């Protein structure tokens, strides 16, 4: 029996084009919500960033409306749309939506059940609220970069993924919205959510932060087992120059690894600080004897917590992801057919049909505004004035 999508019947109006809020609406759409992307008409759109056609899964399954919110008629039309929505998702700088007359107080008057989620780097208030920023800034402020190893020049490395945007912001916002919708089911009332990306990153860093707050210790690179203190949790180069990730934390897994590498003498010394460089040297020498994939074939099934360090090109060819249906087909009118990451989070619907990725110029403005109660004559009049597109 096919289950209905988890968020079927939930309508989200999303002002974002990129960043944490766009990550959030992608998650909500993949759980079955109806997501309507709200943007400005072309003549007003210079301040917006239009991502590549494939980014954020090409906004597959979403609708679009373009409205000039600075025009009185445009704001009135948006408020009609909002009257039938469940969630508003915005990522303007703090204070902007209130000045536009579309803040939570404005929306609550037309729809008391609305869940209004503002995503920003540092939150709507506090000393840093007006700071501009991006992913790297938020990872820096919340301690992530400091704990992430060091480059040759002594500085922290630039991460290979936008963790602040995706987890600290997007997933943070999605979880908060889902919780608010559940609470609304009990109270009948919507609420305002102030999602600060840095607080999401702080949550991701809670093991290290809580350690410092409780003990006074100062976690950093090489401080404990998860940040490189011991040889059993590190990366090693194989004979072919490719890398392996070793995370043999548990003594039994570490012993299995040592035995497989011919390094049995180091089994009693797993957490002996005085011997870590000796163990690393022995591991480096052992791993240099075979190519990466030979080691993976030998060690990964043998309870050693060893895995290959894949490039993106290798990751998308991994048979495990393919077997689990991690990738989906998509098609674009101008760019043709391509593959993309599918709805991979647990409980999302995987239809198997190719997703239609529409050109950014295509909108559903007429249909959506008609649905909200505007006449075709009113829509045409706004279009002639450049208020909608």
- Whichever domain contains 282, its CATH number is 3.30.1540.10
Burial 199-221 (b: 16+ CB within 10 A, else e): bbbbebbeebeeeeeeeeeebbe
Is 254 found in the same domain as 160? Answer: no
In a domain, 313, yes or no: no
165 plus 268 within the same structural domain: no
Q: In what order do the strands lie in the sheet with 355-357?
A: 336-341, 327-332, 355-357
Q: Are residues 124 and 263 in the same domain?
A: no
Which of 248, 225, 264, 266 has its CA nearest to residue 307? 248
Distance, CA of 341 to CA of 182 (rounded, Å)? 28
Note whether residue 124 is domain-resident: yes
| Residue 120 and residue 54 in one domain | yes
Alpha-carbon radius of gyration of the chain: 25
Tell me, what's the pLDDT at 152?
Answer: 86
Q: Which of 59, 165, 172, 234 is catalytic?
A: 165
pLDDT, averaged in runs of 10, over the chain (389 residues): 89 95 97 96 66 92 95 95 97 94 96 98 96 96 93 91 96 98 97 98 96 95 93 98 98 98 98 98 98 98 98 96 94 94 91 85 93 93 93
Residue after which a domain boundary falls, among 257, 276, 308: 308
371 and 262, same domain (yes or no): no
- Asked if 121 and 197 touch (Cβ cutoff 8 Å), the reply is yes
Assigned domain for 316 exists: no
Q: Do 361 and 254 fall within a single domain?
A: no
Q: What total of structural domains would you count in the chain?
A: 2
**Domain interval for residue 182:** 11-203+328-384
Residues 144 and 18 in one domain: yes
165 tagged catalytic? yes
| 144 three-state secondary structure | coil
Q: Which two tokens stand for residue 32?
A: 């079955």
Residue 319 lies in a domain: no
Residue 314: inside a domain, yes or no? no
Looking at residue 353, what is its pLDDT? 81
Exactly one of 125, 134, 210, 329 is catalytic; which is it?
134
Own/partner pairs, 187-194, CB within 8 angstroms, 24+ separation: 188/113, 189/112, 189/113, 190/108, 190/111, 190/112, 190/113, 190/114, 190/115, 190/116, 191/115, 191/116, 192/104, 192/116, 192/118, 193/115, 193/116, 193/117, 193/118, 194/118, 194/120, 194/123, 194/124, 194/125
- pLDDT value at position 48? 56
């Amino acid at each position: 029996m096919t289950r209905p999508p988890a968020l079927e019947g939930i309508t989200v109006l999303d002002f974002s084009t990129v960043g944490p809020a766009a990550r959030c609406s992608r998650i909500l759409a993949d759980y079955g919500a109806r997501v309507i992307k709200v943007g400005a008409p072309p003549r007003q759109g210079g301040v917006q960033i239009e991502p590549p056609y494939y980014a954020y899964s090409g906004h597959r399954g979403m609708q679009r409306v373009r409205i000039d919110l600075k025009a009185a008629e445009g704001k009135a039309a948006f408020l009609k749309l909002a009257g039938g929505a469940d969630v508003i998702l915005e990522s303007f700088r703090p204070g902007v939506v209130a000045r536009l007359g579309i803040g939570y107080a404005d929306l609550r008057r037309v729809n008391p059940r609305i869940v209004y989620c503002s995503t920003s780097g540092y939150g709507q208030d506090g000393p840093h609220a007006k700071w501009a920023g991006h992913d790297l800034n938020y990872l820096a402020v919340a301690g992530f970069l400091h704990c992430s190893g060091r480059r040759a020049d002594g500085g922290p490395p630039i991460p290979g993924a936008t963790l602040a945007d995706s987890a600290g912001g997007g997933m943070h916002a999605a979880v908060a919205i889902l919780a608010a919708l559940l609470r609304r089911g009990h109270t009948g009332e919507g609420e305002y959510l102030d999602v600060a990306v840095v607080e999401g990153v702080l949550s991701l860093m809670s093991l290290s932060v809580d350690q410092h707050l409780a003990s006074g210790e100062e976690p950093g690179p090489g401080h404990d087992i998860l940040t490189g203190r011991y040889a059993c949790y590190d990366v090693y180069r194989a004979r072919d120059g490719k890398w392996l990730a070793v995370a043999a934390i548990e003594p039994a897994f570490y012993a299995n690894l040592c035995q497989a590498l011919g390094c049995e003498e180091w089994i009693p010394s797993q957490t002996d600080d005085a011997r870590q460089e000796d163990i690393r040297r022995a591991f480096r020498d052992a791993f240099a004897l075979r190519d990466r994939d030979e080691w993976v074939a030998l060690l990964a099934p043998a309870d050693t917590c060893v895995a290959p360090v894949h490039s993106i090109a290798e990751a998308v060819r991994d048979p495990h992801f393919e077997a689990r249906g991690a990738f989906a087909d998509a098609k674009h009118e101008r760019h043709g057919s391509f593959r993309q990451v599918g709805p991979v989070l647990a409980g999302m619907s995987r239809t198997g049909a190719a997703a239609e990725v529409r050109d950014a110029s295509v909108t559903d403005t007429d249909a959506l505004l008609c649905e909200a109660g505007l006449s075709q004559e009113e829509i045409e009049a706004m279009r002639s004035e450049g208020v909608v597109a």
